Amino acid sequence: MPHNHITKVLVIGYVWPEPRSSAASGHVMQILETFLQQGWHITFSSPAGPGEHKADLAAFGIREVPIELNNSSFDHFISELAPDIVLFDQFMMEEQFGWRVEKHCPQALRVLETSDLQSLRHARHQRLKQRLKLDPEQNDFSDVFAPALSDKFALMAETDLAKREIAALYRCDLNLMISQVEIQLLVEQFGMPAQLLHWCPLMIDPPADQAAAWAERANFLSIGNFRHAPNWDAVLWLKTTIWPLIRQQLPQAQLHIYGAYTPPKATALHNVKEGFHIMNWAEDALQVMSVARVCLAPLRFGAGIKGKLVDAMLCGTPSVTTPVGAEGMHGEYSWPGAITQSAVDFANSAVALHDNEAHWQQARAAGHTLLTERYSQSVHGPALIEKLLYCMQHLQRRRVENFTGSMLRHHSHKSTQYMSQWIEAKNRCAKESD
């Protein structure tokens, strides 16, 4: 590549980024900012309609181009753009557009941004549903939270979703993984080559710790996009079991639950008398997190790493969560609060953090250490750029070495291509006959 060449990046998003609504969008924005710092030219495209809280990408100097599924207009668009890197945001975008990218820009580096392993999240959801069906009253989920990688593999291996998702990972030249546990799972259990995976967690440079003190804070807080199934399940577990246990010990306690896209079923849970407040969307998530004393994240299933828990650390707010909530987040460092497996332990830990200032201070300090040591943008940003440049430089060799990927591209892209062309022809006929 000539020295004066400006790297062009095309990002194909499953949705338009809404960083104030979801951690996945926040991560995409952090990656875009890292590219912008390099002076790279970025075009963001998505077949989705703009959401209520869409980021103004144009204000960052990012070109916005809506695209359509199953439409050859994309072929002209990408041929003209001729990007050096194509970043698929979520594996379904690779399924839809990967063959078109390969056909019209074979030399572009194809990168997949996973956010989380969806097949792991869905497999855990199924297991939780089965468990609740068998024993709806049980509130110790230590068996559901089984940490062994082989258990996760057994849950996922039979599912169509895992086969689709892992095939997409193989078809790409590089995959950005937000969780080291998921990298370990893919390498050790699914046999994926480690060189196809790059650890890229949420990237934040923490400010000096100036957060409000214990005495200046009040209440418990829970936050998360209601459209995300693990968050809704967490709210239900809080309402039915955990919150009543907390209120038994702290009769005046208040819980504020924030989330984008609040459905009527959530609003219906609002109960002032119980101190259970559904607050809708937080205009500024960090502001509400900064005045809360304890963040509650009772996640019974999920994957990836949790933006709300990084936000809590950023605001100096200790958190109580589950092994699923903390998975892949703290490495060898102490958790800034508590990790629990049952409703009783969760409630007791929440009360202890809320009422014991020394315990609270210790948790808060642990959060600051964890952010600094594991989530530093000044470490992960340059590492990401270095990896992308290395992959572009050694692209042909990497593709030859990834025989499984080229085999999967050969077979699945042909079938996807014919299906897509058939849908396009069908749509065209329907329009002509109208």
DSSP string, 238-268: IIIIIHHHHHHH-TT--EEEE-SS--HHHHT
- Determine the pLDDT at residue 423: 78
- Determine the pLDDT at residue 106: 96
- Residues 330-342: pLDDT tens digits? 999 999 999 999 9
Alpha carbons within 13 A on the beta-carbon side of 265: 6
Q: Kindly report the average pLDDT of the chain as a whole number.
A: 93
Contacts by 125-134, CB closer than 8 A, 24 or more apart = 125/229, 125/230, 125/301, 126/155, 127/155, 127/301, 128/233, 128/300, 128/301
- Determine the pLDDT at residue 412: 72
Give the whole-number percent of the chain exceeding pLDDT 90. Answer: 81
Give the closest residue to 229 by CA, choosing from 133, 288, 299. Answer: 299
- Residues 213-242: pLDDT tens digits? 999 999 999 999 898 999 999 999 999 999
Give the closest residue to 172 by CA, choosing from 422, 412, 409, 428. Answer: 409
Residue 190 burial by CB count (10 A; 0-12/13-18/19+): exposed, middle or buried?
A: middle
**Could you give the domains of the chain?**
8-119+147-203+378-433 (3.40.50.2000), 214-375 (3.40.50.2000)
Q: What's the CA angle centered on 71, arms 68 and 75, to 5 degrees?
A: 100
Q: What's the distance, Cα to Cα, between the start and end of the chain in Å? A: 49
Residue 209 confidence class, pLDDT cut points 50, 70, 90: low
Which DSSP helix (H) or strand (E) runs through 89? strand 85-89
Helix and strand numbers, DSSP H then E, in the chain: 18, 13
Check whether 187 has a pLDDT greater than 80. Answer: yes
Residue 23 confidence class, pLDDT cut points 50, 70, 90: confident
- Residues 101-142: pLDDT tens digits? 999 999 999 999 998 999 999 999 999 999 999 988 888 998
Residue 414 confidence class, pLDDT cut points 50, 70, 90: low
Check whether 284 has a pLDDT greater than 90. Answer: no
Per mean pLDDT, which range of 44-48, 153-157, 425-429 is the poorest? 425-429
- Determine the pLDDT at residue 291: 95
The residue-averaged pLDDT of 381-391 equals: 98
| Single-letter amino acid, residue 2 | P
CA distances from 45 to 100, 102, 178 (A): 14, 17, 22
- Residues 241-277: pLDDT tens digits? 999 999 999 999 999 999 988 999 999 999 999 999 9
Residue 65 confidence class, pLDDT cut points 50, 70, 90: very high
- Determine the pLDDT at residue 392: 98
- Determine the pLDDT at residue 418: 67
Question: Whole-prediction pTM value?
Answer: 0.92
Residue 316 confidence class, pLDDT cut points 50, 70, 90: very high
Which DSSP helix (H) or strand (E) runs through 109? strand 109-113
- Determine the pLDDT at residue 413: 62
Which DSSP helix (H) or strand (E) runs through 118? helix 118-134
